[in-house]
Amino acid sequence: MTLGLYLSVPFCRTKCTYCNFASDVFSRAVFDRYVDRVCADIHTTPETAQAAGGVLPGEVDSLYLGGGTPTVLTSEQLERLFGTVRQKFHLLPGAEITVECAPGTLTPAALETLLRCGVNRVSLGVQSFVDQEAAAVGRLHKRTTVLDDIVRLRNAGISNINVDLIAGLPHQTAESWQTSVASVIALGVPHASVYMLEVDEDSRLGRELIAGGTKYHAHFVPDENLTADLYETACEQLNAAGIAQYEISNFARAGSESRHNLKYWTRQPYLGFGVDAHSMLRAADDGLEAVRFSTSDSLDQFVAGAGLNRTEISRAAALEEAFFLGLRLNDGIDFEKMRAEFGTFVVTPLRDVLVELAGAGLLDWEGDLIRLTARGRLLSNNVFERFLGCGGTGVSPVPAAGGARRSIV
């Protein structure tokens, strides 16, 4: 099996009001110390993997720099990260190398740096092509900024581009959402991610919505029904335009699916470096299926050398993961493949849950194949919760990194 690498860069020019990630606006004085710590962790990967009890694959076929906004780093800092990765890992020819960028941060110097570092895929955090909506949540770009960035990326030879959109932003209407979806289609990008606004206490906008307040334009946020309608509209129109849905939040033209994010959903090994980064390796111990470990979500603690949080994944827990991760994909789950990996009676402990979900119209179950229905994708978190602990494991949901990290709610 090949390995995926994720490097977290938690630095932003501004903190978006909807953001619930471990990223923020920090003084540039900490950037060098942060890069030092990430590079040190990359250098000690073999020892870390051994201490965690994981098997470390020898080859890497995907590298993803996410954030935050990695392009706020200097050219020297970015080159040091990429150089350290190439020094310690064997990147296969043709490896997918992605960097997340906030529109407007792709200066000529930054773009030249990405090209020197071998970047061949860029994910743009657009969220909306309507200037009022973008400004309302703290985005600093305008529609024209995005259009210019895409032109310059293509002129530089990077055509593998993802565009993020969020349904449910303040001031969003069915008409304005149509503008954003139509823009993605017209631009001809090969990949798009569509998320519904997540309302929780980990973002300023979420807290204000819960409190019923008006700060951050919270009183202009569409209701849940309209937000769901916007998501379904995007699914229909992107599919019709040949940008086919292959995962709850992700759409791609044929052959342009995110290789990196597919590792998370198909339980392939990956390593994360930096603040709030997560890793999964197959276990060296025959009594376990895998080991997961993660870093601190505090920048200060991470830079100070905080240790890893480690979780052992038993065979029963791995089975539950295989269900709630596999169901994220439109292809769903093939019981024949599951039986080959987990044994003949793989469905037995989960049969009652599957019957219940199928009866509620959340799952399609035909023979050995199960997949989420359109309604099931809208209520996917509720579906996934039904698999957690039903085998007596109590395993927690797997935090994603890299691309689709804002859950459908």
Could you tell me if residue 275 is inside a domain? no
Both 149 and 220 in one domain: the answer is yes
Residue 405 has pLDDT above 60, yes or no: no
Tens-place pLDDT, residues 249-260: 999 999 999 999
Q: Do 18 and 139 share a domain, yes or no?
A: yes
Number of domains the chain is built from: 2
Q: What tokens does 49 get?
A: 């993997």
Q: In this structure, is residue 33 part of a structural domain? A: yes
Question: What is the pLDDT, as a whole number, of residue 97?
Answer: 98
- 86 CB-near residues (< 8 Å, 6+ apart): none
Pick from 248, 263, 278: which residue ends a domain? Answer: 263
Please determine, for residue 393, whether its predicted confidence score (pLDDT) is greater than 80: no
Kindly state whether residue 269 falls inside one of the protein's structural domains.
no
- Domain match, 236 and 369 both: no
Amino acid at 92: L
Answer yes or no: are the C-beta atoms of 152 and 107 closer than 8 Å. Answer: no
**Closest listed residue to residue 330, CA positions, set 220, 246, 407:** 246
Q: What is the pTM of this model?
A: 0.92
Q: Same domain, yes or no, for 67 and 137?
A: yes
Is 93 among the domain residues? yes
Q: Tell me: do 164 and 236 sit in the same domain.
A: yes
Q: How many CB atoms lie within 10 A of CB 361?
A: 12
Domain identity same for 101 and 184 = yes
Q: Smallest Cα–Cα separation from 157: which of 110, 118, 131, 100?
A: 118
Order of all β-strands in the sheet with 278-282: 244-247, 250-252, 191-196, 161-167, 121-127, 90-101, 59-67, 3-9, 270-273, 278-282, 290-294, 309-313
385 — pLDDT class (breaks 50, 70, 90): confident
Q: What is the pLDDT of residues 101-149, one digit of tens each?
A: 999 999 999 999 999 999 999 999 999 999 999 999 999 899 999 999 9
241 in the same domain as 95? yes
Look at residues 5, 10, 87 and name the one whose alpha carbon lies nearest to residue 49.
Answer: 5
Q: Are residues 249 and 374 in the same domain?
A: no
CA–CA dist 276, 363 (Å, integer): 32
Residue listed under structure tokens 């490097």: 7
- pLDDT value, residue 344: 77
The CATH number for 46's domain is 3.20.20.70
- 109 in any annotated domain: yes
Using an 8 Å Cβ cutoff, are 237 and 194 in contact?
no
Clarify whether residues 189 and 320 are in a common domain: no
198 backbone dihedrals φ, ψ, rounded to 5°: -95, 125
Q: Which domain holds residue 11?
A: 3-263
Q: What's the chain's length in residues?
A: 409
- Please name which of 102, 114, 104 lies closest in space to residue 63, comparing C-alpha atoms: 114
Is there a single domain that holds both residue 241 and residue 376? no
Q: Is residue 383 part of a domain?
A: yes
Verify cis geometry, omega within 30 degrees of 0, for the bond prior to 68: yes
Question: Crossing angle of helices 335-342/315-326, nearest 10°?
Answer: 160
Nearest CA to 299 among 53, 68, 90?
68
Angle at 122 between CA 120 and CA 124, to 5 degrees: 170
pLDDT in tens, 157-184: 999 999 999 999 999 999 999 999 999 9
Based on the fold, state whether residues 231 and 338 are members of the same structural domain: no
| 247 and 328 belong to one structural domain | no
What tokens appear for 90 in the block? Answer: 């064997």
Output the pLDDT for position 345: 75
* 20 close to 202: Cβ distance less than 8 angstroms: yes
Containing H/E element for 224?
helix 224-240
CATH of the domain at 322: 1.10.10.920
- Residue 80 forms part of a structural domain: yes
- Give helix then strand counts, H and E, for the chain: 16, 15
Phi, psi (deg, nearest 5) at residue 310: -115, 140
Answer yes or no: is pLDDT of 397 > 90.
no
24 in any annotated domain: yes
| CA atoms of 120 and 109, how far apart (whole Å) | 16
